[in-house]
């Protein structure tokens, strides 16, 4: 999936004379995730620094910390019984890195005896891991779905946990959130594949301004955040 899109203002000027089917095509073109350079108005999104997350009804947002350093490296968006963990990685100007990271995720899954399924989804190439786990009732399976979007000097990874990892209908709501996320990578030079920390708002507790923002905590035990 290509990262680049036109700014909304530019698209609006072009849409007036278009036929209905052409308007539908432009609307599809404007779906994200977006780079910060593509949008002018970010007031309706939760500002977490490198990530600007759109609010939704019945959506919870949690900042996740690195297990060792306690640095805030990911954002977990929860809806219904599923979670989407978002992380932004630095990338070189000349190429994307998702194809490399996808293979790394596959190797990690294979090392944990997981079933590895490569597939094409709404955001391009993705991978689903079916991890064997122990449960109180015996053995079970934990499903993880990894999606990656290459942008200008960044790569956004979305890891789906729960029903959204293996049921396309359960993933629709979270995928709509992902399409409206904005990435603000900044200009700081960073080595490729370095996770870019998110910014904890001035008050990390839920309040009138951020009713669905939870206190920072450790990331999911299924994947240590690095």
Domain boundaries along the sequence of the chain: 32-218
Residue 44: its pLDDT value, please?
Answer: 87
- Map residue 202 onto helix, strand or coil: coil
Residue 137: its pLDDT value, please?
Answer: 85
Question: CA-to-CA distance for 79 and 19, rounded, in angstroms?
Answer: 36
The predicted model gives 179-186 an average pLDDT of 97
DSSP-derived pairing of the beta strands 72-79 and 82-90? antiparallel
The whole-model pTM stands at: 0.79
- CATH number listed for the domain at residues 32-218: 3.40.1000
Q: What's the pLDDT tens digit per position in 14-61?
A: 444 445 454 444 444 568 899 999 988 887 899 999 999 999 999 999
CB 179 within 8 A of CB 25: no
- Scanning the structure block, which residue is given the tokens 């698209």? 11
């Amino acid at each position: 999936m290509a990262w680049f899109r036109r700014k909304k203002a530019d698209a609006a000027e072009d849409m007036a004379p278009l036929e209905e089917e052409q308007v539908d095509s432009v609307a599809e073109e404007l779906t994200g995730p977006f780079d910060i350079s593509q949008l002018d108005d970010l007031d309706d999104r939760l500002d977490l620094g490198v990530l600007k997350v759109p609010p939704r009804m019945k959506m919870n947002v949690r900042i996740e910390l690195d297990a060792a350093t306690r640095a805030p490296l990911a954002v977990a968006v929860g809806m219904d019984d599923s979670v989407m963990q978002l992380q932004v990685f630095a990338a070189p100007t000349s190429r994307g890195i998702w194809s490399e990271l996808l293979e790394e995720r596959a190797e990690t899954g294979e090392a944990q005896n997981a079933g590895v399924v490569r597939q094409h989804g709404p955001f391009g190439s993705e991978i689903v891991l079916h991890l064997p786990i122990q449960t109180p009732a015996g053995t079970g399976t934990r499903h993880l779905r990894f999606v990656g979007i290459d942008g200008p000097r960044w790569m956004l990874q979305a890891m789906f946990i729960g029903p959204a990892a293996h049921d396309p209908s359960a993933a629709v709501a979270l995928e709509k959130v992902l399409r409206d996320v904005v990435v603000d990578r900044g200009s700081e030079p960073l080595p490729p594949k370095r996770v870019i920390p998110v910014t904890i708002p001035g008050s990390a507790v839920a309040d009138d301004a951020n009713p669905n923002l939870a206190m920072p905590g450790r990331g999911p035990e299924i994947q240590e955040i690095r």
